[in-house]
Structure 1
Amino acid sequence: MKLLVGLCFVVLMIFGIDGNAQVLSTKEAKVIMVVDETNETVSHIELFGNFQQMKKAEVLEKYPNSHFYIGLLEGSYELNKNNVIPTHGSTVIMYTDRQYLSINTLFPSDKFTVGDELDIGSIKAKVVSKKKGELILKTQ
């Protein structure tokens, strides 16, 4: 009996009691940066594969008044109900000229310079590099 209780405890510790959030590590993951069009900030990050499984109408209903930019995430991240939350020290590359569900609106990366801080979802990031069509951010 003690062995069964101990085994259950170990299983819960391995898989987590919550079950909603997972911390994953990756060399590179393709993501979608959801940008609120009213204040031009990144409100959410989702895995690209999740967006591909949704119909255009579903995406627009889930994220009204938003633009969607393709990006890459390098490092660790937490996945909570399809929402990607990069961990401290991860790199996020936002392709400001590559939209998903193309609406031909470029992300206003001109207003950012190296060293600027901005919110991406629920975390802060710092601009480490800016090139034409690309904004490279490091999470803090």
Structure 2
Amino acid sequence: MTVSNNSLDVAVLEWCKLMADRNDKHHWSHVVTDAAAFEGSLLTAIGMTKDEFAGYETAMRRYRDKFIAHLDSDAEMDIPQLEQAERAVAFYHSHVVEQEAEGIDLHGLPATGAQMATYYHAEERSAAIRYDAAMQPVAG
């Protein structure tokens, strides 16, 4: 349970840095050359309107602020769905490697969307195997 919760929390924290916190130095608006074009392409790629994405950002920030950064007294936790977050980050990565980065910037990192997907799924499988092993009853 703790591993799953920690992974969820880190995913939300990191997503907010890249996609939700416009003042953060890691936010996409400080990285891409043409912010307006990127935003339009991002919304198209993830199948959301600007208002829907703003609502999603709000939900992600609320979860981060109320349950990760500060444990407020809210009686109910609304855990955000991460499918949209995953699609947004995949688009962002593809955009950066295809249009923003120069060769040396990516040394040792996945340099295409396909390489990133392969890396992600391999790590996901590895984590699942480790999690399953850790959840096995201890022999007495």
TM-score range, shorter chain: under 0.3
Structure number with higher strand proportion: 1
Q: With structure 2 as the length reference, what TM-score do the two structures score?
A: 0.24
